[in-house]
Amino acid sequence: MVLTPYAILRQLCFFKGSTHARNISNLTKQHVSPSSNVLIPWNSTPGISTQRPNRYMWTDASRKGFGGYYLPSCDAPIHELRPSSAFSGAWGSGCIECSITYLEMAAVLHGLKLWKEKFKDHEVVCFCDNQGVVRGLWGKNIKGEAMNPLGEIIQLCKAANIELAPRWIPGKGNVLADLLSRRCDIARVGNLAPQLSNSFPEP
């Protein structure tokens, strides 16, 4: 079986029954606001579908660093991922005391900045395993320092005409982004995406 983000979610939920597995797997295809069941991206009218082409981005953060990648489809094979479609970086000393919510939000911002031109005029489905960040990206329950990168995200999306559709996924469904953020198991990164193994060396 070809490993894709869609396949990972199906494997995670298979033991809970086929109906539940289908519902969870559909997270990759249904972009729904947790509060209203209507997609309300930054630059569209609620309830009106713009039928834009999609891009899919996964991000994660740890105390060691941040990482992420993007694919044109949830069915695209992860093993074909190229270095230009992924990132892995270390935090500066000023981020050591920041909250994990801030770090996770900053990772989302980094991905949007990095691929701004590729995401321009697209809907970007952004997968994150931090529920606070996802709620914040939907404009709910976000306070403190995480407001700073969130404000930049909003401005960037408006400037580039990006519709952002945040989605929460379980941490086990965000394996590659997690590994890229921890910067400690390059061999495993190489097993998932061979072309990345020499691009992001361990610190």
- Give residue-wise pLDDT tens across range 160-183: 999 999 999 998 889 999 999 987
The closest of 156, 150, 151 to 133, measured between CA atoms, is 150
- Domain containing 158 equals 33-196
CA 82 to chain centre: 17
The closest of 184, 201, 202, 193 to 71, measured between CA atoms, is 193
3-state secondary structure of 125: strand
Residue 15 lies in a domain: no
Residue 23 lies in a domain: no
CA–CA dist 160, 158 (Å, integer): 6
Count of the separate structural domains present in the chain: 1
CA–CA dist 140, 129 (Å, integer): 16
What does the chain come to in residues?
203
CA–CA dist 42, 165 (Å, integer): 9
Residue 127 lies in a domain: yes
Choice between 29 and 62, residue whose per-residue pLDDT is larger? 62
Residue 17 lies in a domain: no
CATH number, residue 93: 3.30.420.10
Which contacts (CB < 8 Å, 24+ apart) does range 37-40 have? 39/165, 40/138
Poorest-pLDDT segment among 23-37, 61-75, 128-142? 23-37
Residue 201 lies in a domain: no
Residue 92 lies in a domain: yes
- Give residue-wise pLDDT tens across range 123-140: 999 999 999 999 999 887
To the question of pTM greater than 0.95 for the whole model, the response is no
